[in-house]
Structure 1
Amino acid sequence: MDPKLGGLTLRWQPEPASWHLAGGVLSVAAGPQTDMFVDPGDPDAPPVLNAPRALAPVPEGDFQFALRARVDFGERYDAGVILVWAGERHWAKLCFERSPAGENTVVTVITRGDSDDANAWPVAGDTVWLRASRLGPAWAFHSSPDGQAWQLVRYFSLGPDAGPPLIGVEAQSPVGAGCTVVFDHARLTPTRLSDLRDGS
């Protein structure tokens, strides 16, 4: 059975180690050494795309997809993610990730051929709200401590060669033994952001 989250019917590609959905709460277990990254320092290396991700076609027009992510952090780079996917070399992820310094951090990775990896800010605790919004050909990533007041993380496009976009969630444990991510309070809003900078 495919998971349904925030009005989207998602399909796994690839499957996680395990997952469970009940009452709008999706729990995903990522296996060990699972990641999504295209190393810009090694252009001959194949993309690493073995993290479990559940994706759905995006709705027509502009929209906002928001949820709360809680991560059972164990090792650096463990993360729960909102993912925008438009092909193996065209995708973007908004992550709640454990940094090498041991801080729970909002992180973005924008991949247009190679990956552009950027840390935003640390978050107290193991829970944060994440949101991806489409604005015509562009995308915006925002984060929030409470799902009400949002802060812009990245504003970007996936480029003219990107395929039809899908959206959904991902869980990863690139150097660890695996981690569990819980996604809840997901909502899909078929409206355009009125203010990109303050996230309203």
Structure 2
Amino acid sequence: MLVGKDVSHSFQTTRVLNGVSASIAAGEAVALVGPSGSGKTTLLYCLAGLIQPEGGTVAFQGRSLAGMGDDERSELRRTSFGFIFQSSELVPELTIAENISLPLELLKVPRGERQERVGNLLDRLGLAELADRRPARVSGGQAQRAAVARAVVHRPAVVFADEPTGALDSANGAVVIDLLWELAREQNSAVVLVTHDHSLARSADRAIALRDGALHGSEPVAPGSAEK
């Protein structure tokens, strides 16, 4: 479904990715692992169309991202991709419910359906009592749960998660990642996860290891991990 072939990229004079190839199947959970500076986040951003790689190609469902115009790539990210970052990146002026609803509003989903989808996620993620609060008035774990809800509410084909538990303690991090796996599996959404946490990587279907901007290995994780 999502294929990067010989992807290369530099920032100024520093080569960050050097001919990396990776493919993601529909519904698959893939962890990008490796030491700091190995190119994990840059590869994720290239696969998501947030960065135009200097070399190589990225294609989603057989269509080259480079062959799309800026508006078409933006539309793709709105309709088919979801994003979770290390900090929740919620809009501070909006309530928790409004933040979760934002992708649906951008897609002009009817109000009744928006309310139903958002209400369901608020209940499942234990956020219903916080629906009218703004992000500054909830905990980091609660904000990150809302970020997961916002990433999946429009039922994307792929969720890109960049260190989604990096700012949380282990207990809150486990809750967030379990919710992500559960919701993504129900919707058959693929997940591309950047993490330094080996336990999170083992909970994915497959891990892709990078080192010094190059592919260092790709292998299934321990049997049974796909149960998540």
TM-score (norm 1): 0.29
| Structure with more of its chain in strand, by fraction | 1
Larger Rg: 2
Question: Normalising to structure 2: TM-score of the pair?
Answer: 0.27
